[in-house]
């Protein structure tokens, strides 16, 4: 998994931004590769999608990052979803 270290660093940055630098943030060191996605601008290029989890106190956050590994793990997209029972 080429971009694992990038995903862990980017997860901490994203969750810190999303939750105002809460000092209780922890990031799971398990990174799961998901199916590649096509670049919408150039479908012949594929993005690697990596998923990891972050936590703040009782909050749980799923984060997915899209990288173009052909250019030194260039971050192309990110998403964050808070898991909650509403």
pTM to 2 decimal places:
0.91
Q: Is the per-residue pLDDT at 65 higher than 70?
A: yes
Pairing outcome for strands 25-27 and 32-38: unpaired
CB 63 within 8 A of CB 78: yes
Segment 16-61, tens digit of pLDDT: 998 888 899 999 999 999 999 999 999 999 999 999 999 998 899 9
- Residue 1 is predicted with a pLDDT of 65
Q: What percent of the chain has a predicted confidence (pLDDT) above 70?
A: 99
- Residue 22 is predicted with a pLDDT of 86
């Amino acid at each position: 998994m080429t971009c694992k270290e990038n995903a862990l660093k980017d997860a901490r940055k994203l969750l810190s931004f999303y939750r105002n630098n809460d000092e209780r943030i922890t990031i799971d060191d398990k990174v799961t590769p998901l199916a590649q996605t096509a670049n919408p601008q150039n479908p012949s290029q594929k993005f690697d999608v990596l998923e990891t989890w972050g936590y703040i106190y009782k909050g749980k956050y799923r984060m997915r990052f899209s990288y173009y590994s052909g250019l030194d793990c260039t971050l192309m997209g990110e998403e964050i979803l808070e898991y909650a029972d509403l």
